[in-house]
Amino acid sequence: MATALTLQSLPLFPLGTVLFPGGVLPLRIFEVRYLDMISRCQRAGAPFGVVSLTQGQEVRRPGGDREAFATVGTLASISAFEQPQAGLMTIRALGQQRFRIRNSEQLRHGLWVADVEQIAADKAVPVPEDLQPTATALGTLIRKLQDQDRGAEALPIEQPLRLDDCAWVANRWCELLPMPVQLKQRLMELDNPLVRLELVTDVLARTGITG
């Protein structure tokens, strides 16, 4: 049995959202703890970890609740970086491999770091015929977004499109649908991409997006 790849002292970015593998995450960064972290990651070409908050806020406030977060997250790599002014960074991050936190600690200046083990990437599973309407509806939505001429960087979908792959289709719908963060987290953690797509299809049917 292969040993899971591990990363030590991975810097974490707890957010009120869920990053899926293959997903796009634009961020505006102004907290000192994250300005330093992102600067270091950018210079080293290193990833950081995105984890979903279960308690607390994205921005620390005096007297606020202590931050707590899910134990499964996603590695994020920086694909675009700008510093329009002192004390502000804007980045575009791409979701990579999922990971599971083995242990974590908060450093004195507030940054969380963790030792993690990487979770195997989703297996490539073709979209079965009965779930094809879900993939077709996603393709239609992507074309509509493209027709709005917002520019490639604004489109929340990274090329190439993989409308024939269960995990890719399910992940993109999870990002686009207004689902509770807790549900998105549970779907992201699922090991079986076919089951994830089946559950997403049920959500789409209930909302009337697909029949």
**First and final CA of the chain: distance in angstroms?**
42
123-133 confidence digits (pLDDT tens): 999 999 999 99
66-93 confidence digits (pLDDT tens): 889 999 999 999 999 999 888 899 999 9
Is the pLDDT at 161 greater than 60, yes or no? yes
Between vectors from CA 78 to CA 74 and to CA 83, what angle results, nearest 5°?
A: 135
Residue 75: Cβ within 10 Å count = 22
CA separation for the pair 172, 157 (Å, rounded): 7
Residue 97: Cβ within 10 Å count = 15
CA separation for the pair 90, 93 (Å, rounded): 10
Residue 2 pLDDT level (bands cut at 50, 70, 90): very low
Is the pLDDT at 185 greater than 60, yes or no? yes
Q: Are 164 and 183 in contact (CB under 8 A)?
A: no
Domains of the chain: 6-118 (2.30.130.40), 129-207 (1.10.4060.10)
Q: What is the model's pTM?
A: 0.90
